[in-house]
Amino acid sequence: MPLTSKSDLSKNQILAALPEREIKRISRHLRSISFGWREVLYKPGDSINYIYFPLNAVVSLLVFMQDGRSAAVSLAGNEGLVGLPSAILGMKTAQLHATVQIPGDFLRIKAAAVQSECRRCDVLLDRVLRYTRFFLAEISQTAACNSLHLLEERLARWLLMLHNRVGKDEFPLTHESLSDMLGVSRSEVTRAAVFFRKTKLIRYSYGRVTILDRTRLESMACECYKLVL
């Protein structure tokens, strides 16, 4: 549907940084759209026709192996965008699997329009380049994290990252989703989640997680959390 309120732009950190003249120009291309849990924005090999700016949703960027196992390399929330390779590098096809982790609202824009605006708008280009540097740092850190850190440490990190992006203590999350993100079996996720629940770090029921003690959760997370929030 057409963008009905420019106030929506303030909900995404990249768009919120734009000066008024550039907001007016890019607003003509933006459209509001909502996605539900586990809806897929791209699969590897799909054409990247649109760039998505999350407003209150979170997208997991996953790598899938031939045997069906997966692991998340990054999360995209209102701090960034989905479709980065096309926005800044001009790539036409997706390399990662982009799945909605926390359902919600987005602003959608044609990839070609973003590329054109980046050539015209120094502020937009600067913000997208900043996000690119963050994204590259995050996936590099995640590669090391997945190899070197304990499941409980990694689970704490991903819960905190989700908490940061949704901005509220309770949000939808299933063991299946955590299994996909962490690259481990559901039984391993269940074991770690039960420990977190018994130690009153979180409350978990009916596919919803509530963060009960963020301070202790931060102390349990691996060093990667503070290096790449």
Prediction pTM value: 0.92
Query: Are 129 and 159 members of one domain?
Result: no
Question: For the chain, how many structural domains are there in total?
Answer: 2
Tell me whether residue 59 is in a domain.
yes
For residues 75 and 153, state if they share a domain.
no
Structural domain harbouring 104: 6-145
pLDDT of amino acid 47: 93
Shared-domain flag, residues 132 and 216: no
What is the 3 state secondary structure string of the chain? CECCCHHHHHHCHHHHCCCHHHHHHHHCCCEEEEECCCCEEECCCCECCEEEEECCCEEEEEEECCCCCEEEEEEECCCCCECHHHHHHCCCECCCEEEEEECEEEEEEEHHHHHHHHHHCHHHHHHHHHHHHHHHHHHHHHHHHHHHCCHHHHHHHHHHHHHHHHCCCEEECCHHHHHHHHCCCHHHHHHHHHHHHHCCCEEEECCEEEECCHHHHHHHCCCHHHHCC
pLDDT of residue 87: 78
Q: Would 98 be classed as within a structural domain?
A: yes
CATH classification of the domain holding 90: 2.60.120.10
For residues 28 and 111, state if they share a domain: yes
Does 131 lie in the same domain as 22? yes
Among 109, 126, 145, residue at a domain's last position: 145
Pair 40, 124 in one domain: yes
Tell me the mean pLDDT per 10 residues along the chain, length 229: 66 94 91 95 94 96 92 95 84 93 96 91 92 93 94 97 95 92 94 96 93 97 90
> Which of residues 145, 178, 200 is at a domain's end?
145
CATH number of the domain that residue 172 is part of: 1.10.10.10
67 and 96 in a common domain: yes
For residues 194 and 132, membership in a common domain is answered with: no
Whether residues 184 and 139 share a domain: the answer is no
Do 140 and 167 belong to one domain?
A: no
Is the domain of 107 the same as that of 84?
yes
Domain for residue 1, yes or no? no
135 plus 164 within the same structural domain? no
